Each structure stands twice: as C-alpha cells, then as structure tokens.
C-alpha cells in the first residue's frame, strides 16, 4: 500500500509540472500576440503615409 502513496505523489507532481509548463506557454503566446499587434500597427502606419 505504501507504493500507492508514491504513485499518487508522482502523478501529482507530474500534473503540477505540466500545468506550470502550459501556463508559461500561454504567457509567451500572449506576449507574442501583443508584439504581433504592435508590428501590424506599425506596418499600417507606414502604408498610410
């Protein structure tokens, strides 16, 4: 029965790591999207001149 506790702990740690990784990716994606919108605005300004 002790092995079951270790298995549960290992799965919990794995899910925490996966969740953290997904959150990091989401933040990176949001920053990239902001940069893309900024660059699109610059391009539109240049085309408007």
Does position 47 have pLDDT exceeding 80, yes or no?
A: yes
| Model pTM score | 0.72
Task: List the structure tokens of 21.
Answer: 């990784």
HSE toward the beta carbon, residue 7, CA cutoff 13 A: 4
Sequence-ordered alpha helix ranges (H) in the chain: 2-48
Place of tokens 């940069």: 35
> Domain spans of the chain?
17-49
Distance between CA atoms of 35 and 16, rounded to whole angstroms? Answer: 29
Q: What is the pLDDT of residue 3?
A: 83
Quick: pLDDT tens for 3-40: 899 999 999 999 999 999 999 999 999 999 999 999 99
């Amino acid at each position: 029965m002790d092995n079951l506790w270790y298995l549960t702990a290992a799965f919990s740690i794995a899910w925490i790591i996966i969740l953290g990784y997904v959150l990091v990716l989401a933040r990176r994606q949001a920053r990239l999207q902001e940069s893309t919108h900024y660059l699109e605005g610059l391009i539109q300004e240049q085309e408007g001149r």
